[in-house]
Amino acid sequence: MTGLIACAHAPRTDEPPGPDAQLNALLNEDYAFTMQSYPTWASMLGERAYDTELTDNSPAGITARLKSTRARLERARSINAETLTDQGRTNLALLIYELSESLRSSTYHREQIPITQMGGPHTSLPQLGDRLTFTTDKHLSDYLERLKKIPGYLDQAMKNMKAGLAAHNTPPQIVMAGVVEQLRAQTKADYKADPTEHPLFKPYSESSPQSPLVSATISVIRDEILPAFERLAAFTEDTYIPGCRKSIGASDGPGGIEYYNFRLAHYTTLPLSAQEIHDTGLAEVTRIRQEMMDTIKRSDFPKKSEL
């Protein structure tokens, strides 16, 4: 996924008109757009309308999402907060913050770094069978349609990685350690011999072997998904990792210290510099240590004089 996918409170659609009606309509629209844009997340939340889909991370798909995000942000900013309820003002502020963060995040092209040892399609996709519920025949048939889109999804990830290499927008080599092994784990010989052993097959584990869905899923995993993972693994090992930067600092990427400060603000939600955060940490260590020493002096802790 690219950018931020959080969304402000989406109100109930059956609420009577009121001072927040315009905002609530926009919040509902934003929620629906988020579900459509990130369909696997929607499925995990129980929004099953997009069960056949995967996120479109093509340039056209990303451009369309950004265009929609800008339009919703403009509409949000046009709402007069003074006319809203207290909850409405909070929701409006959150919506403007989240849409603004998403647009700013997009300038750093996070889609160009879709894979690290911490996550990516090589770890998230094989977990779909465990993260979703399958209680109807439609759930199972929709899942097969989603599986058919995985090869294209993986190929798109590889295209974005190539774009990242060209832009020198890559993770440090050190954080890619183990990624090739993670990718190869999806193409083990056992899976090629028997695709029903692959994690992606799990939702059909109790289905009849004669089911058309089962035979179709076996073919998709064996003939399309496994080769796609193999292509991605080979590219990652032979081209991508050798081309990743050797420096480890976040500020060493194309976004420089501006990107580093953006991520600090994103994770802390505070207007603090890196130095201020570092100084706060040192001050807290000193404070906590002093509290420890004061407690030790009041106790019979052994060998306290050696501390």
**For 102-123, what is each residue's pLDDT tens digit?**
999 999 999 999 999 999 999 9
Distance from C-alpha of 167 to C-alpha of 118, rounded to nearest angstrom:
22
The chain-wide mean pLDDT, for the chain, equals 92
Within 13 Å, how many C-alpha atoms sit on residue 256's CB side?
A: 1
Rounded Cα distance, 163 and 229, in Å: 19
- Measured from the Cβ of residue 192, the count of other Cβ atoms closer than 10 Å reads 15
- Measured CA to CA, the distance from residue 1 to residue 55 in angstroms comes to 7
Q: Which two tokens stand for residue 130?
A: 């465990």
- Which of the four pLDDT bands, split at 50, 70 and 90, describes residue 196? very high
> What confidence score (pLDDT) does residue 211 get?
93
Give φ, ψ of 245 to 5 degrees: -70, 150
pLDDT, mean of residues 214-224: 97
| pLDDT of the residue at 306 | 54
Q: Which stretch of 40-44, 205-209, 220-224, 297-301 has the lowest confidence by average pLDDT?
A: 297-301
What's the rounded mean pLDDT across residues 82-87? 96
Q: Which of 13, 57, 52, 17 is nearest to 31 (CA)?
A: 13
Query: Tell me, what's the pLDDT at 138?
Result: 97
pLDDT at 29: 97
Choice among 140-149, 251-260, 298-307 with the minimum mean pLDDT: 298-307
d(CA 206, CA 23): 46
Q: What is the pLDDT of residue 251?
A: 85
Q: What pLDDT band is residue 152 in, cutting at 50, 70 and 90?
A: very high
pLDDT at 148: 98
Helix axes 86-106, 59-77, angle to 10 degrees: 150
**What does the radius of gyration of the chain's CA atoms come to, in whole angstroms?**
24
Residue for token digits 């052994």? Answer: 302
First to last CA, the chain: 49
Q: How many CA atoms, within 13 angstroms, populate the side-chain half-sphere of residue 158?
A: 19
